[in-house]
Structure formats: structure tokens, C-alpha cells
Amino acid sequence: METIHIDIAGRNYPLSIPLSEKTLVHAAAAIVNEQVEKFRKQFEVEDNIDLLAMTALQLASKNKAENPMPIQGNEELNDHQIQRIQHLQERLTRVLEA
């Protein structure tokens, strides 16, 4: 483990991480800082907490859209999974009717 210092929205955060994740964490911090600055300019917001909340929501939404949760156990299906099942069902129906 290595302790690094990450600056996010003007505040310094010490993090203990595996050395193998150092580049990834620095890159992630850069993405967060870039998005905070975009929102600061776009919406003329100065409160870092608001900017960080907006950034967190945007990044989480993007991540969720790109990586839908897999089916595990008896959990409910998400919209992407339901659409995929419906598409497969339609294809099967067409094949069986041919």
C-alpha cells in the first residue's frame, strides 16, 4: 500500500491504495476535477459540494448506463435486461413461426 495525495475540487485527500492503482486513481481524480470545472462554468455554481454532487450523479448515471447490473439470485430485472429478453423472445417467435 502507498499513501498518495489527491486534490479534488481544491481539497487535498490522502489515500492509501495499492501501488498498482496509483495511475488509475490519479486519472479518476482528473476526470472529477474536469467535470467539476465544466459544471462550475456551465451553471455558474461556486459551491463545491453542489458541484461534487452534480459530478457524482453524472458519473454514476454514466457508469450505470454502460454497466448494467447482472442478474443475481432473485433480484429484479433492470430495463436493459427486460428489453434484451423481449428482443430475444421476438426473434425466437419469428424463427418458430417460419
Buried b (16+ CB within 10 A) or exposed e, 59-92: eeeeeeeeeeeeeeeeeeeeeeeeeeeeeeeeee
Same domain, 28 and 62: yes
Task: Render pLDDT for 67-88 as a digit per residue (tens, 0 to 9).
Answer: 776 655 546 667 777 888 877 7
CB 2 within 8 A of CB 22: yes
Same domain, 15 and 55: yes
Same domain, 61 and 77: no
> What is the domain extent for residue 8?
2-67
CA distance 73 to 84: 18
pLDDT of residue 72: 58
Same domain, 16 and 57: yes
CA distance 9 to 34: 9
pLDDT per 10-residue tile (average), the chain, 98 residues: 94 93 93 95 94 92 78 64 79 70
pLDDT of residue 39: 95
State the total domains in the chain.
Answer: 2
pLDDT of residue 61: 87
Same domain, 11 and 29: yes
